Amino acid sequence: MEYLQELNEEQMHAVLATEGPVMIIAGAGSGKTRVLTYRIAHIIRQGVDPYNILALTFTNKAAREMKNRIANVVGDAEASAIWMGTFHSVFSRILRFESERIGFPSNFTIYDTDDAKNLIKSIISEMKLNDKQYVASQVYNRISWAKNQLVSAARYAQSPEWIEGDKLSNRPYISEIYQKYARRCTRSGAMDFDDLLLRTYQLFTSHPDILEKYQRRFKYILVDEFQDTNAAQYAIIRQLSITHQNVCVVGDDAQSIYAFRGANIDNILNFEDDFPSLRKFFLEQNYRSTQNIVHTANSIIEKNTRQHKKNVWTDNQEGAKVKLFKATTDNEEGFVIAQQIFENKMNFHLSYTDFAILYRTNAQSRSIEEALRRLNIPYRIYGGTSFYQRKEIKDLIAYFRVIINPHDDEALKRIINYPVRGIGKTTLDKLFAAASDNDVSVWTMIENLQNVSLSISPATLNKIREFSNMISEFSNQMNLTHAFNLATMVASQSGLLKELYSDKSPEGVSRYENVQELMNAVKEFSESSGTETNGTSLAGFMEEIALMTDADNDKETQTEKVVLMTVHASKGLEFPFVYVTGMEEGLFPSNLSTESRDKMEEERRLFYVAITRAMQQLTLSYARNRFKYGELSYSEPSRFLSELNTDYVESQITKQQSEDNRQRSGHTGIRANRYIIPAGSILKKQSPKSSTSFGTMIPIAEIQSGMQVYHERFGEGVVLEMEGNLPNLTAKVRFKSGEKKLLLKYAKLSLVKKD
């Protein structure tokens, strides 16, 4: 059990406590993934069949990482047998096994958010409701919230509370929309993401024999990021764990920030109410951040009243104090941050991936992006448009969906006349209206066109038959043709590839290349599925991409770019240098958070998450004037800044910026300031020997070969040679870590004096 030697004492206790209900409160950067994976490995080492272990995560990426770590301890075969994945992927797997018991085909389609909203938009149109009053995204959010509270369409219609809420919001027909939406999903053999939870709960509730089957199977249940679970997820966990009680939940209530998605902090705060014999373990040692960052985070989160009290600490170095600066405007704020990133990268030979800029709302990125572009600093917006949300990708995927499940009305609507094949909107409206009147799928109507009268011209009827024959032929090939070959056939014979190839504009070329990349993904998936070469490979590929989260969709994590993202999107990530912007009242905390103490406490937890993303240096900033709705508005500093322990914070003094820099920052008519951070406060210092002291910074012109110098990052060194001319003079310096070439105007070398 050599793996146990890698754990600290509290981590080891949490790993060894395998029996009965356990809660592991894991502070930020405390190694919870290691504890969770070693706990699973230890359970297997104790002789438990991995088939009897269920491990639930919130991203496929986290599941893959854990499975790989477990495999390193117990082997690939054992690790692959564990039921491990996201809530949605695991419950989808169960539903495909048991779907007929709740009236769904095993090849049901999983609707993404866009599919669901489009269907709701169609229903609103069919009901002739005002689409300004019934905004599809808002109706979708209402239905989603209901499902996460385990409220089905039938229960919704019978609930005075929900109905009254809709009347107060001037949308009394949401219940009817929900019922129509549920019927249409069932008719199309489709479930949305929320259905994967609701339907699983209904399956277990309505069929005790199936619940008992999975209770017997899952003797050990482990849940990651437990603070992010909603009512539906917790209800299913409780259903499954009643028999054996071997349930282990891991999380940090201080990082519960997704109430707007339905996450319920009460799940982690009150877990003991349902499991009185619960044992708690607190992982309090932070391995990520410096002492100043850890102390700053603690000084914030201690202000919350509803929490599991813990004392997070670290053995890491003290590090630089947290930086706080005030800008005149949001434009200046962006420029100061961009300038500081540029200087730090040049000065300390860093990568752009070492830097992250966080903000409360996406709208704040504008001024930051403009500043980064002015200094030619590459950046990327984390959580932007997913590859799988691009139109050309969704078009081809819609073909795959219809081949697997021809009753998928939303996918059928997307491709029946794309590429254009002469089946116009009037014809489609007739088909969909007839399908709705007869409560069947559109595909069923197409298959029975000879038995119904829809006033469709013979030429158009022929086009519809050609389309249905093509789809039927593709479907027939599913069990005969390798998935990649079938995908290639579909892309070619549907005319989609030709349509994209004929567009020679830069955008058209990019769309064509994206489809080629999708084909590569199908091929890679098919080859990785071993002997699985029949139609289930394509279905498996569709299952995988349908269940991807935002984190799984991000494909640029290793690119040499500064990362910009909302604080919500940053959870689970870490960066050496972090800038948290817009620390202003009404922005962070949000105006909406002032409605109640619970909302303000969640906002404070969000700030805690922002702080704990930083490893070496944290910078907080606010602007006294910020553009909002096209007007420059005065802003007050965030109340959170007054809650910071000043022992760990350094408020920066600004100096007037040169006219040249003012013009570069675009602050015409506004005095701009330059943010100066002393070099000695940036990175971890190396402790000098007691017999050595350091003088003041050496003027660049006085630096000579043979000098013994000190650099804040690399420590003591000897200047070997000088190159170039002022002001761009460089020096080659030998440090213990090796030779470095430094641009002296940024290096800020000090003279070493020997006693």
User: Is 544 marked active-site?
Assistant: no
Among residues 18, 33, 328, 730, which one is catalytic? 33
| CA nearest neighbour of 372 among 386, 352, 348 | 352
Cβ–Cβ under 8 Å, residues 133 and 172: no
Active site residue 243: no
DSSP class of residue 421 equals -
* Segment (H or E) for 363: none
SS3 content of the chain, % helix, strand, coil (to 5): 50, 15, 30
Among 115, 224, 333, 601, the one annotated catalytic: 224
Catalytic annotation present for 696:
no
Token pair listed for 336: 């100061």
DSSP H stretches of helix in 529-574: 535-546, 550-553, 567-570
Cβ–Cβ under 8 Å, residues 441 and 513: no
Map 579-645 to HEC letters: EECCCECEECCEHHHHHCHHHHHHHHHHHHHHHCCEEEEEEEEEEEEEEECCEEEECCECHHHHHCC
Token pair listed for 358: 């966080």
302 Cα distance to chain centroid: 27
How far does CA 493 lie from the centroid of its chain? 36
Q: Strand 575-580 to strand 631-634: parallel, antiparallel, or no bridges (unpaired)?
A: unpaired
* The two structure tokens encoding residue 432: 């969909």
C-alpha torsion sign, points 485, 490, 491, 494 = positive
Dihedrals phi, psi of 624, to nearest 5 degrees: -75, -20
Distances (CA, A) of 78 to 43, 73, 335, 393: 11, 10, 52, 36
Is 478 in contact with 403 (CB distance < 8 Å)? yes
3-state secondary structure of 127: coil
**8 A C-beta contact, residue 117 and residue 137:** yes
Indicate if 646 belongs to the active site.
Answer: no
Please state, in angstroms and as integers, the Cα–Cα distance from residue 581 to each residue in 155, 294, 311, 333, 482, following that order.
44, 19, 27, 8, 51
Q: What is the 3-state secondary structure (H, E, C) of 52-67?
A: HEEEEECCHHHHHHHH
Please state, in angstroms and rounded to a whole number, the distance separating the CA atoms of residues 437 and 648. 68
46 is catalytic: no
Q: Which of 32, 171, 511, 626 is catalytic?
A: 32
* Cβ contacts of 117 within 8 Å, gap of 6 or more: 136, 137, 140
3-state secondary structure 466-519: HHHHHHHHHHHHCCCCCHHHHHHHHHHHCCHHHHHHCCCCHHHHHHHHHHHHHH
Question: Which position among 112, 195, 225, 228 bears the catalytic label?
Answer: 225
Q: How far, rounded to the nearest angstrom, does the alpha carbon of residue 157 sit from its chain's CA centroid?
A: 33
Separation CA 654–CA 205 (nearest Å):
63
Of 86, 255, 314, 339, the catalytic one is 255
Q: Give the separation between CA 322 and CA 354, rounded to whole angstroms.
A: 17
C-beta atoms surrounding 24 within 10 Å: 28
Distance between CA 271 and CA 352 in Å, rounded? 42
224 is catalytic: yes
Distance of CA 61 to the CA centre of its chain: 10
Q: Which of 558, 704, 640 is nearest to 303 (CA)?
A: 640
Are 200 and 95 in contact, with CB atoms under 8 Å apart? yes
| Gyration radius of the chain's alpha carbons | 30
Q: Which residues pair with 190 in a beta bridge?
A: 109
Strands 614-628 and 631-634: antiparallel
Report the chain's terminal Cα–Cα distance, integer Å.
Answer: 51
Half-sphere exposure of residue 664: CA atoms within 13 angstroms, side-chain side: 18
Which residues are marked as active site?
Answer: 32-33, 224-225, 255, 613
